[in-house]
Amino acid sequence: MDPLRRSPSPCLSSRPSSPSTPPCEMLGPVGIEAVLDQLKIKAMKMGFEFNIMVVGQSGLGKSTMVNTLFKVWKSNPPGLGVPPPQTLQLHSVTHVIEEKGVKLKLTVTDTPGFGDQINNDNCWDPILGYINEQYEQYLQEELLITRQRHIPDTRVHCCVYFVPPTGHCLRPLDIEFLQRLCQTVNVVPVIARADSLTMEEREAFRRRIQQNLRTHCINVYPQMCFDEDINDRILNSKLRDRIPFAVVGADQEHLVNGRCVLGRKTNWGIIEVENMAHCEFPLLRDLLIRSHLQDLKDITHNVHYENYRVIRLNESHLLPRGPGWVNLAPASPGQLTTPRPFKVCRGAHDDSDDEF
Amino acid sequence: MASSEVGRHLLFQSHMATKTTCMSSQGSDDEQRKRENIRSLTMSGHVGFESLPDQLVNRSIQQGFCFNILCVGETGIGKSTLIDTLFNTNFEDYESSHFCPNVKLKAQTYELQESNVRLKLTIVNTVGFGDQINKEESYQPIVDYIDAQFEAYLQEELKIKRSLFTYHDSRIHVCLYFISPTGHSLKTLDLLTMKNLDSKVNIIPVIAKADTVSKTELQEFKLKLMSELVSNGVQIYQFPTDDDTIAKDNAAMNGLLPFAVVGSMDEVKVGNKVVKARQYPWGVVQVENENHCDFVKLREMLICTNMEDLREQTHTRHYELYRRCKLEEMGFTDVGPENKPVSLQETYEAKRHEFHGERQRKEEEMKQMFVQRVKEKEAILKETERELQAKFEHLKRLHQEERMKLEEKRRLLEEEIIAFSKKKATSEIFHSQSFVATGSNLRKDKDRKKEPGCGFELLCVDVRTCENSGGRKDAEKAPIFCKTEVPEHRRSSSQANFIKKKLEVCFDFAVFICFITLYLVNGHSY
């Protein structure tokens, strides 16, 4: 018998049964909705955390994109004069930004050197390792006896994958990477440097990429299986139709028609970053920040982290002398709404667990 | 998809971080940030994440809220009425009897909706509290119930495949303790119960049926109660004063604890309004009139201002304390014997190995014992077998001896038979001879008879040949001499014949019996 479950609950009969709750009519205002304000006040005081990872070959404009998203200009512009590193490295930088009383602790993880070598075998391993390391840290914190009141959340909430604008289809490296990463983290693919493609080329490229994703069963964010109700599905279907977004990043401002806009100046015109007719950067920004940030965090916490936890806890129960899989309570029907293909998941984790 | 529970979970945890850094002020935040080497940057444009709290709130609305209230107080003190008044509904309930043998807890869940907020409200009532004659164990069922809810949550949290976001949280968020309006002081039962509950749940004491206490008495009563609670070290729930927007109100309310409340769902017309009130011949006590009672304050504090904080406190303080105690009880620690940090995993695995080892050892022991017992049993069986064998041998030997004896007897008997038949034959011959030669044979016989110590000799003659050939010749031809002693007094043939016949019959019978016996004995020996 599991030593953790040895003690039976002392008062078995007095637990209220949750399912049957008769709805009651209130005869007047009580003030329950004030709880929403209470929530807001608390949230504002505490601040938010968001961890984003950008993955792509060098020169695709990852750092510029991050700057454009969060409109924070770093002192040294990236990439110039610095030779691409020989192996994949991971740089994590944390900033705290505030807007109208809301504090956001933003952590951006950059991956210079991804896909830049001649032999790119297993170049996703360090990335997977990093992601799993964050999960592991969180898990260890959660399992302590004396827990901290607030466990610092360094788990990667979203991974933006930059697809080079070849105009043809996804490359084998892209497919391999996306397949592995979609099981572990929310992935949002974008077409980088989209100003080198015309509108028609963009559309065709997008369709081909979507087809590739479908063929290889790659489930990018927003995942269809997590749509809760019809509203969500409608909203997310619109988004899914436009993924991957064709984005352009810019960190310089130019004067266009008397307005000061962010854009790239070329000999044949100025590409306005925030103009929907020019590129889909606003869609990406809205997805990541304005509408789905909380959702990204929730899915990371409820699905990806829980999957990692299950696998991790099951693995550690393997007794050395024989088959010792702990067969705990089978998944209740409520959990079938979050299906996870464990086979592929475990494969990815085995790769990364070797590094520990 | 996701849930608000998670959002709240994150909120609680992050909120507590700020609470630990002493009522977070901006200064400490900056220091913390500097320590963590995080840059604070300013943005040069509008990004749009001020909608983050709204996103969070939307998530919570989708998920719904849940709130659990425990009402502790004597029967008939007005618990159900107050809850009805607080939430402005008529929850289905009946009056409890005063004759319960022990304290029981009755929980009921209701779903309330106000605009777009769904609240799952659970009211737990103590039935029979304070009714028993011996009240020593009255508080125990309450403590057990609270612990059971924590335990259920802990079990869910420790599962491998868990679903915390769909879990119906049944932990008690607030305990309304109803104090009887005696006007003097706290009852011993109240003190004892509150002392046992204060580390497990947020307690808000209220003075029930406050319309029986006059204003002046009420002031003194409140002061007395609070001083008693403080002097006995009972920690009641203090409304939080760290957030600027609500700090002032909360601080003021803290000074007015415990609230003197009156509950009523009856509507009474006062002036031109219809209000909830209790009607007496001497006046009307209006529930929502702040001059009459503190009901409005209680409602405001409990629901409008601090519901979130109550839930947070339950989760981060009381539940964590329970969890820590429970895990330490089971032997898990964070720091191992060499002061190295030990993870729950390792401790769990170590315990598991230990447990398995223990079990294996016990199995071995039992096996040993079993083998031992089997051996003993075998030995006993062998012993009995040997004894039986010996007995059998013994009996067999006896049988053999008997048999030999009987053989012996049989032989003797046969010899006797032979001798007798010889003698019979000779006597017949003598008889037949005596008809022919009277003297000599007889004389011979007599002479012979005169000799003392004449041996018994049986004359065996072939009787058939005697009969066929008339006796004499054959008698001379082939006599086998067995001389027999003929009894002196019987020489006459008829009597001799008769005796002979009798003897013959007897002998036949005896031989027959012997043969039967031998046969039976032989049969048995096989």
pLDDT in tens, B162-189: 888 888 888 999 999 999 888 788 888 8
Contacts of A250 in chain B (CB under 8 A): none
What per-residue confidence (pLDDT) applies to A353? 40
Q: Which of B38, B161, B323 sits opposite A94 (nearest CB)?
A: B38
Contacts of B144 in chain A (CB under 8 A): 10-11
CB-CB neighbours of B295 under 10 Å: 25
What are the distances in angstroms from CA B255 to CA B235, B250, B296?
Answer: 15, 9, 15
Say whether B306 and A38 touch across the interface (CB within 8 A): yes
SS3 A15: coil
pLDDT band at B318 (very low <50, low <70, confident <90, very high): very high
Kindly report the average pLDDT of chain B as a whole number. Answer: 79
Give the whole-angstrom CA distance, residue B278 versus residue B276. 7
ω into A244 cis (within 30 of 0): yes
Rounded mean pLDDT of A85-105?
82
Alpha helical stretches, state H, B94-237: 140-158, 188-197, 215-231
Structure tokens that stand for B343 in this block: 């993870």
CB-CB neighbours of B324 under 10 Å: 16
Whether residue A356 has pLDDT greater than 70: no
pLDDT band at B521 (very low <50, low <70, confident <90, very high): confident
* CB < 8 Å from A in window 22-61 of B: 24, 33, 36, 38-61
Residues 6+ apart with CB under 8 A from A201: A167
Structure tokens that stand for A165 in this block: 């604008």
pLDDT band at A207 (very low <50, low <70, confident <90, very high): very high
Higher pLDDT, A47 or A337: A47
Q: Does B321 touch chain A (CB under 8 A)?
A: no
Query: CA nearest A36: which of B87, B57, B3, B56?
Result: B57
**CB distance A191 to A246 below 8 Å:** yes
Which contiguous run of DSSP H or E holds residue A249? Answer: none
Whether residue A128 has pLDDT greater than 60: yes
End-to-end Cα separation, chain A, in angstroms: 30
The angle formed by the CA atoms of residues B116, B120 and B125, to the nearest 5 degrees, is 145
* CB < 8 Å from A in window 92-151 of B: 92, 104-117, 119-120, 122, 124, 141, 144-145, 147-149, 151
* Widest distance between CA atoms in chain A: 78
pLDDT tens by residue, B333-370 = 665 554 445 555 666 677 778 888 999 999 999 999 99
Query: Domain limits of chain A?
Result: 37-115+122-250+278-308
Interface with chain B: mutation pick from A229, A294, A340, highest number of B CBs within 10 Å: A294
Contacts of A16 in chain B (CB under 8 A): 107-109, 122, 124, 170
**CB distance A161 to A178 below 8 Å:** yes
Q: Does A230 touch chain B (CB under 8 A)?
A: no
Rounded mean pLDDT of B82-93?
82
- Burial class, A346, CB count within 10 angstroms (exposed 0-12 / middle 13-18 / buried 19+): middle
Query: CA nearest B193: which of B325, B70, B82?
Result: B70
Rounded mean pLDDT of B319-346?
71
pLDDT band at A78 (very low <50, low <70, confident <90, very high): low
What per-residue confidence (pLDDT) applies to A20? 56
Whether residue B101 has pLDDT greater than 90: no
Q: CA of A225: which chain B residue's CA is closest?
A: B1
pLDDT band at A238 (very low <50, low <70, confident <90, very high): confident
Whether residue A106 has pLDDT greater than 80: yes
Judged by average pLDDT, the poorest of A63-77, B48-62, B244-258 is A63-77
SS3 A213: helix
**CB distance B175 to B201 below 8 Å:** yes
- Burial class, B419, CB count within 10 angstroms (exposed 0-12 / middle 13-18 / buried 19+): middle
Whether residue B51 has pLDDT greater than 70: yes
Judged by average pLDDT, the poorest of A70-79, B25-34, B85-94 is B25-34
Query: CA nearest A224: which of A209, A205, A243, A206?
Result: A243
Kindly report the average pLDDT of chain A as a whole number. Answer: 77
Q: What is the DSSP letter of B95?
A: P
pLDDT tens by residue, B6-15 = 444 443 343 4
Q: How far is A146 from chain B (nearest CA, A)?
A: 6
Contacts of A143 in chain B (CB under 8 A): 343-345
What per-residue confidence (pLDDT) applies to B399? 95
What per-residue confidence (pLDDT) applies to A155? 93
SS3 A87: coil
Alpha helical stretches, state H, chain A: 34-46, 62-70, 125-143, 172-181, 199-215, 230-242, 281-285, 293-299, 305-315, 342-353
Contacts of A318 in chain B (CB under 8 A): none
What per-residue confidence (pLDDT) applies to A290? 85
Contacts of B12 in chain A (CB under 8 A): 149
Q: Which of A12, A18, A38 sits opposite B307 (nearest CB)?
A: A38
Token look-up 């550690």 returns A316
What per-residue confidence (pLDDT) applies to B501? 86
Give the whole-angstrom CA distance, residue B33 versus residue B41. 12
Residues 6+ apart with CB under 8 A from A295: A222, B1, B2, B55, B59
Rounded mean pLDDT of A95-123?
85
What per-residue confidence (pLDDT) applies to B453? 46
Structure tokens that stand for B488 in this block: 């002196």
pLDDT band at B387 (very low <50, low <70, confident <90, very high): very high
Query: CA nearest B122: which of B159, B70, B157?
Result: B70
pLDDT tens by residue, B261-312 = 988 888 888 888 888 888 889 888 888 888 888 898 898 888 888 888 899 8
Token look-up 């040895």 returns A6
- Residue type for A241, please? D
Give the number of beta-carbon pairs within 8 Å between A and B. Answer: 318
Q: Does B249 touch chain A (CB under 8 A)?
A: no
Structure tokens that stand for A335 in this block: 């959990």
Q: The whole model's pTM is what?
A: 0.67
Q: What is the residue-wise DSSP string for B112-146?
A: EEETTEEEEEEEEEEESTTTSS--TTTTHHHHHHH
Query: Of how many residues is chain A composed?
Result: 356
Q: Which of A15, A38, A148 sits opposite B170 (nearest CB)?
A: A15
Whether residue A108 has pLDDT greater than 60: yes
pLDDT tens by residue, B399-433 = 999 999 999 999 999 999 999 999 999 998 888 88
Query: CA nearest A17: which of B122, B113, B65?
Result: B122
What per-residue confidence (pLDDT) applies to B19? 38
Rounded mean pLDDT of B206-235?
89
> Which percentage of chain B shows pLDDT scores above 70?
76
Judged by average pLDDT, the poorest of B141-155, B209-223, B378-392 is B209-223
Say whether A97 and B41 touch across the interface (CB within 8 A): yes
The angle formed by the CA atoms of residues B48, B53 and B55, to the nearest 5 degrees, is 80
What are the distances in angstroms from CA B114 to CA A24, B80, B150?
Answer: 11, 21, 29
- Residue type for B232, please? N
CATH architecture of A37-115+122-250+278-308: 3-Layer(aba) Sandwich (3.40)
Rounded mean pLDDT of B22-48?
54
- Residue type for A249, please? G
Give the whole-angstrom CA distance, residue B193 versus residue A168. 75
What per-residue confidence (pLDDT) applies to B347? 67
CATH architecture of B58-330: 3-Layer(aba) Sandwich (3.40)
Interface with chain B: mutation pick from A13, A107, A150, highest number of B CBs within 10 Å: A150
What per-residue confidence (pLDDT) applies to B103? 84
Interface with chain A: mutation pick from B28, B36, B160, highest number of A CBs within 10 Å: B160
